[in-house]
Amino acid sequence: MEKGKFQYRKNRNLSLFIVGILGFNLACSSDTDPTFEPPRQIEELGKAEIWLTTGDQSKLLSKESDLSITELVENQIPTITIDSGDKKQTIEGFGAAVTGSSAYLINQKMSAAQRTNLLRELFDPNQGIGLSYLRMTIGASDFSLSDYTYNDLPSGQTDYNLEKFSIAKDKEDVVPVLQEISNIAPAINIMGSPWSPPAWMKTNNNLRGGRLKTESYEVYSDYFVKYIEAYKAENIGIKSISVQNEPLHFTAGYPCMEMSPSEQNVFIRDFLGPKFAENGVQTEIILYDHNWDNTNYAISILNDPITKSFVAGSAFHGYAGNVNSMSLVHNAHTDRGLYFTEISGGEWATNFSDNLQWNMSNILIGTTRNWSKNVLMWNLALDQNHGPLNNGCQDCRGVVTINNSTGQVTRNVEYYSLGHFSKFVRPGDWRIGSTTSGDFGGLEHVAFSDNSGEKVMVIANNNQTTKEIKIKENDRQITYSIPAKSVATIIWD
């Protein structure tokens, strides 16, 4: 046989043998045999930014590597599901109080370069943390260089025409600092709160204690109007005022005044509200401005429909009571805003990690989840001796500490707590709905969105261990392992 034919027959026989073997295997195979396929790759749909602060301070508002946004995968990871269509309250901003003490330190204990650098870091969201809401004291508080109002007179004198009204004392430090801040952040929101009217308007003729005389209700309304106009003349807009700081705390060694709910109601309804309307004043009026432990104060005033028509909402402090109380006021009057306007850190609590988590749970995540439109700490800045003091808190801590000899700045836990919100959640954004499933013990969160569709979520992990979580939005997800005792802000489109 020719060699080529032999080779053909050999190959043909081998082929028949292989086909036979395959046929046998197919005939013997079962429909239940497993099919082996390579694992499917999860498609990446985008990226999310993440900024992290850890309780051990190894990360301080640190930008970490981006997270992947992927198609949704069903699993048992604890999950936060967000609903962008469920719009809650609009956010007006995050910040602190430019008290007389804070303004003095910034204006007089720092060089021009130090001051500019600090204010840019505090109020520019690109160069720093972008604080967007401030509180100021209308006259003196427990953090001023002295007691004063804008119409102080010798004992026995009165000035019902307010001819001697003057903000000259504020022009020493408060006005120039607010002007420089406004140059950096022109849209900054400012709230004014009085600790006391002028002494001659009060029942005890003293800045400390007493009540507002009934015959002074009209002139005190004029006083607020003149304050707003005086600051407008300095190119500083006042977005809102509260009628009285802490009206139920009136035995202090610094300016203070008692004002009952019924007194505040009459003052707003019959005097301040109409006076603002008569003069075209757009500044909002805010009630109460005291602790969580009393909800009836604000609710009882809002129950008066005439007063309510003049009022933007109610303000709270965090020194007593529970943050959930704010939702009780919201539920009673859903058409009025809520504001969180004061809390201070201090030497009574110095552990950074514990303070970070407490601030998240109670003040930042806590208040915004309970309908607050803003969050304000107390002093923006204090010195290394917790002052300058004016017979108030002896060991309070500012958002930053300024050394009164060198101008050197120390950033405190309140700085980083605020920064996780203020840098990323801007005025005009709103809180959006979010729900959880799975084991969320020790984890807290809140979510926001803006008009462009950008989302921001702040997550706090108070556990001693890292926790893997998933954020679910429609058919997309982000997974992240948040370190123990840390706070993370996640931003995505």
Q: Write the DSSP string, 56-75.
A: TSSSSSEE-PPEEEEE----
44 is catalytic: no
> Average model confidence (pLDDT) for the chain?
93
In 3D space, the residue among 440, 421, 373, 443 whose CA is nearest the CA of residue 130 turns out to be 421
The Cα–Cα gap between 102 and 157 comes to: 32
Q: What is the pLDDT of residues 219-277, one digit of tens each?
A: 999 999 999 999 999 999 999 999 999 999 999 999 999 999 999 999 999 999 999 99
Share of the chain above pLDDT 90, in %: 91
Q: Say whether the peptide bond before residue 38 is cis (omega within 30 degrees of 0).
A: no
Residues 6+ apart with CB under 8 A from 35: none
246 is catalytic: yes
Helix (H, G, I), strand (E, B) or coil at 489: strand
User: What is the separation of C-alpha 205 from the centre of its chain, rounded to a whole number of angstroms?
Assistant: 38
The Cα–Cα gap between 402 and 393 comes to: 17
The Cα–Cα gap between 15 and 371 comes to: 78
H helix and E strand count, the chain = 13, 23
Confidence category of residue 43, pLDDT binned at 50, 70, 90: confident
Choosing from 246, 258, 284, 414, which is the catalytic residue? 246
Domains of the chain by start residue, with CATH:
47-88+432-492 (2.60.40.1180), 92-427 (3.20.20.80)
Angle subtended at Cα 264 by Cα 199 and Cα 271, rounded to the nearest 5 degrees: 80
The Cα–Cα gap between 308 and 286 comes to: 10
The Cα–Cα gap between 1 and 19 comes to: 26
pTM of the full predicted structure? 0.91
Say whether pLDDT at 32 is over 90: no
Choosing from 92, 121, 284, 342, which is the catalytic residue? 342
Say whether pLDDT at 30 is over 70: no
**Region 451-464: what's the mean pLDDT?**
97
The Cα–Cα gap between 225 and 388 comes to: 29
Q: What is the pLDDT of residues 92-117, one digit of tens each?
A: 999 999 999 999 999 999 999 999 99
